[in-house]
A and B are shown apart, each in its own frame.
Chain A
Amino acid sequence: MSTKEQKERIELLQGTLDLLILRTLLLGPAHGHAIAKAIEFRSDDVLQVEQGSLYPALHRLIKRGWISVEEGTSENNRRAKFYRLTTKGRRQLAVETSKWDKLAGAIAQILRPVEQEGKP
């Protein structure tokens, strides 16, 4: 069914974004804007995240207990909310990373033969 397909697609995307957020926060607590900037910067602007979609993802992670949230002051002296990786989140990052590696490997394996078949 089409809805199911759509759901899977979204979940895959969400999962990826979650992974990127966790990875970013491994370096230390950050506020929402900084996380968006970091993801753009570290992926050499290849991954252009629509900045708003960061927030549902952040809340999903809070809900699962992978990150926590606290009040803080940003670099230009504004009050902002800082997100911090929890121990549970750190563990999850390891799991997700290895999953991602496996998935990436599997996809690569599937894709490569197609490529070879494609050029006789």
Chain B
Amino acid sequence: MRRRERMMEDLDRDIREHIEMETQDNIERGMSPEEARYAAVRKFGNVTRVKEETREVWSFIWLEQFMQDIRYALRMLRKSPGFTAVAVLTLALGIGANTAIFSMVNSVLLRPLAYRQSQQLYLVREIIPELSQTYPTLPTNLPNFRVWKRECHSFEDVAIVEPWSMTLSGYSEAEQISGGRASANLFDVLGVVPELGRTFLPQEDTPGKDQVVVLTDSFWRDRFHADPAIVGRSITLDGQPFQVVGILPAFFRFPRAAQLGAYIEFASRVDYFKPLGLDPAHFSQIGEFDFAAIARLKPGTGVGQALAELNVIQARIARDAKQGMDLRAEMIPLESEVVGTARRGLLLLLAGVGAVLLIVCMNLASLLLVRVPSRAREAGIRTALGASRGRLARQLLTESGLLATLGGVLGIGFAYFGLRWLVAVAPADLPRLDEVRLDARTLWFAAFVSVLTGILFGVLPAWRVAHAEPQQALKAGTTTTTESRPARHLRESLIGFEVGVGTLLLIIAGLLTTSMVRLVGIDKGFTTEHVLAVDVSLPPQSYTQPQQKDEFYDNVLARVRALPGVSSAGWISKLPLEGQEQVDGIIVPGRSRTVLQALVANYRYVSPGYFQSIGIPLRQGHVIEQAERDRHVAVISESVAKKLWPGENPLGKQFRPGLDPQMPLTEVIGIVADIRTVALDEPPLLMVYLPSKVGLYTWSGAHASLVVRAGTLPAALGAAVRGAIQNVDPGVPIDYLRPMAEIVSESVGVRRFQMVLASLFAVFALLLAALGIYGVVAYSVAQRRQELGIRMTFGARGPDLRNMVMLQGMLPVVAGWAAGVLAALVASRVIQGLLFGVTPRDPLTIVSVTLVVLFTGAVACYVPAARTTKLDPMAALRYE
């Protein structure tokens, strides 16, 4: 196209020159200049028409040839509808799957945060080297943040934020809303401009001036019907008026769960933000590490330089604090922290789906190669008639390109529906999952992949056809008895490759499945059958006194226990698998361990009935009874008992629950089994259970979860429990109500997602490979009819021939299988991180995959090979 532009520009000059020269000639012949020019122009003819005709030269041929190729290709594809259907369908599945997975990768990995220059943003965590055994890194504390903001010159700015829930009232039912409490500059640091109104002013960090909120777009839409007039008005939060000052843009997302590092957990849904409103005088320099700090580096400043500067500041803070502790810091790119562990799994899926597409290409290439001899004859005729090789190759590539385009268009359709399914089954903790969709970038990707596949599977057959010797091709068509050796080897290696990739995918899928089975079957320490869990939050404005909270919890318990079908019920401050909370040391009086060497446990506050309800078995002693609720007693997990009192009877022993020396001495009354607290694939943590009486220890009683065990779990139980809670107080919001099994299932969501997709790809790959094997063997039987006929007339029996064909067909299958197993062994280090309870070289998985692959290969070979037994030697010899 550019060549044409250039040619046309040159033409103008050329014509001017031409007329100029002719005029000059005429003048030399004695004409007056005016006459000479007129004669020259007349002789040249119509300049515009000349230009038009020349332009046509450059456009027409190209376009016409292309249209010709397309028409021809369409005719060829119509002529073999079976091949066309298989090709377009497998391509569509391959391209569709790739597009769908790519759009997930695109949203989740490539643009996890829509903040301004988000690569400049770093999460800052504090490190206390003395505590790093138990807490490798800590969130940030308020006074240190103030020092950094003032003194660290590598930062353009730094902001802090912590999860913060409040109760919204005044609009029908009271509702617990979750969000964050942030320094006023948070949105400046992130580079987020509000859609409406403003964000926070610097003075709003001060206590008393902090009663303003910024709402997220989704909350504003759901709760206030996107009413712009809400900006400037007041809403009631925790019984206090807060002025809505701004609405965040719809694309704003905030990291959720522990994406801002351990010990900071944001809810999956962020509704609002409020300014800090904290007095730094109430905070100590070493303690209350509660905030996520997000720093924006100055342009051109390296992270190493920033960290060095920060560590100097930290060392000085530690010296000034005179607590005998050192202080350091760590900086983590915000994006990688948000994407976290999702990266490896998604990349694995992308590689897997890419491998499937590769197999699709191989398969089509081998199907096209089968047609090479017949096409070569046609090509031979055309070469003899003067067609160039390039032209022939172009025409064949047009055919594969057309197939790929059809596959691509259909594939985008598949991707659209596939994506809906993916988003539905994907684990909820994948970042930005809700934004995954087919966007422009994804469509470009689909187009690119389509073109690439078209070239990939088309180029080899096209090359072979175009380079067929015309005479050879014309001659060979009628008399050949055996296929040419290189052609067969080429197809066999394609089959081998397909089987190899398929085997590798199957092994990975098998390992992921085994991991999943092991993980789900692991001893969690508690049971989930017939167990319902309900989370509630008490609105602080109506529950100001500890006994109000105790009464509420007791009343609910009494009502729920009275419900028909309920066998037991109990409260706990935080459910298993919902993360760590209330992590503190255990101090045993009289032990010489220093504070820093103390064991660290997760503390939970439980009511009577909790252990029975969730099914944590009692090992020794007894659980907390109603009568002991006011006493300083504790139930500890087995590993706490083993670590603190090895070889002794822990019952009756005393300890202080927490590093604070004010903590009352507490007596061990029971020992229960260990449980998986954080995740099924993480070993049990040390657990200490204290009575759930507000004020007895440090429990505020603001949130709690009710665990209900029923004989069976009728669908109506949920509604009945909800009714019982609202009967006690309709003003208490119920945050979640779901079976315990769902919590467990959600906690392994990422693994299940990987397993399901990997298995899907592997099965698809295996089926494709089987199709390829079948095609090649069937073709070779058809091609060797004469040869087989001759063998039969010389006494070979049908079954002998069948076995021979099968053996030859299985050769590339076995070679491919061996290569696939080898690749899996080599890749084992990459896969390792995704597995649980199974080594990447698990013999059982490899043996099972071997059986599946060889069996599938054998079936795919047997079906066409069996035809040889029905071969009539006479007919075969006469064939063609």
Contact = CB atoms under 8 A, between A and B. Distances in A.
A56 B54 contact: yes
A52 B14 contact: no
Given A62-B7, A81-B10, A51 B18 contact: yes
Nearest to B61: A63
Contacts of A31: 17
Contacts of A55: 11, 14-15, 50, 53-54
Contact of A56 (B10, B25, B50): B50
A60 interface: yes
B47 A52 contact: yes
B855 interface: no
A52 B44 contact: yes
Contacts of B18: 32-33, 36, 51
A98 interface: no
Given A52-B45, A52-B46, A55-B11, A78 B17 contact: yes
A31 to B, nearest CB: 8
A59 B18 CA distance: 15
Contacts of A76: 21, 24
17 contacts: A31-B17, A50-B43, A52-B49, A53-B53, A55-B14, A55-B15, A55-B50, A55-B53, A56-B54, A56-B56, A76-B24, A78-B20, A78-B21, A79-B17, A80-B17, A81-B10, A81-B14
B7 A59 contact: yes
Given A55-B15, A78-B21, A80-B17, A63 B58 contact: yes
Contacts of B49: 52
A65 B465 CA distance: 24
Interface in B52-91: 53-54, 56-58, 61
Contacts of B15: 52, 55
Interface in B6-60: 7, 10-11, 13-15, 17-18, 20-22, 24-25, 43-47, 49-50, 53-54, 56-58
A74 interface: yes
Contacts of A53: 45, 50, 53
Contact of A33 (B21, B47, B58): B21
A81 B50 CA distance: 17
A32 B43 CA distance: 14
Interface string A57-69: 0011011000001
A38 B21 CA distance: 14
A79 B17 CA distance: 8
Interface of A: 31-33, 36-37, 50-53, 55-56, 59-60, 62-63, 69, 74, 76, 78-81
Given A33-B18, A56-B57, A80-B21, 14 more contacts: A36-B18, A50-B43, A51-B18, A51-B43, A52-B46, A52-B49, A59-B7, A59-B11, A63-B58, A76-B24, A80-B14, A80-B17, A81-B13, A81-B17
A56 B54 CA distance: 4
Contacts of B10: 69, 81
B60 to A, nearest CB: 10
A31 B14 CA distance: 9
A36 B15 CA distance: 12
Given A33-B17, A78-B17, A78-B21, A52 B7 contact: no
Contacts of B53: 53, 55-56
A36 B21 CA distance: 11
A33 B22 contact: yes
B391 to A, nearest CB: 12
B385 to A, nearest CB: 13
Contact of B14 (A32, A37, A50, A60): A32
Nearest to B11: A55
Nearest 8 interchain pairs by C-beta = A52-B45, A56-B53, A52-B50, A50-B45, A33-B21, A59-B57, A56-B54, A51-B44
A56 B50 CA distance: 7
Contacts of A62: 7
A83 to B, nearest CB: 10
A51 B372 CA distance: 49
A49 B780 CA distance: 61
Contacts of A36: 18
B152 to A, nearest CB: 63
A93 B640 CA distance: 98
Contacts of B24: 76
B54 A74 contact: no
A25 to B, nearest CB: 16
A33 B24 CA distance: 11
Nearest to A79: B17
Contact of B22 (A51, A56, A80): A51
A53 B51 CA distance: 9
Nearest to B24: A76
Contacts of A81: 10, 13-14, 17
Nearest to A40: B43
B44 A60 contact: no
Contact of A59 (B21, B47, B54): B54
A56 B22 CA distance: 19
Contacts of A69: 10
Contacts of A51: 18, 22, 43-45
Contacts of A60: 57
Interface in B816-860: none
Contacts of B46: 52
Nearest to A81: B14
Nearest to B17: A80
Contacts of B43: 50-51
A75 to B, nearest CB: 9
A56 B44 CA distance: 13
Contact of A74 (B21, B50, B61): B21
B39 to A, nearest CB: 11
Interface in B750-778: none
B269 to A, nearest CB: 64
Interface string B554-573: 00000000000000000000
Contacts of A37: 25
Contacts of B57: 56, 59-60, 63
A99 to B, nearest CB: 12
A105 to B, nearest CB: 21
Given A78-B21, A80-B17, A59 B58 contact: yes
A36 B22 CA distance: 10
Contacts of B25: 37
Q: Which of A33, A37, A78 has the most CB of B within 10 A?
A: A33
Nearest to A31: B17
B651 to A, nearest CB: 98
A69 B10 CA distance: 11
A51 B50 CA distance: 10
A33 B17 CA distance: 8
A53 B56 CA distance: 13
Contacts of B22: 33, 51
A76 to B, nearest CB: 7
Nearest to A69: B10
A71 to B, nearest CB: 9
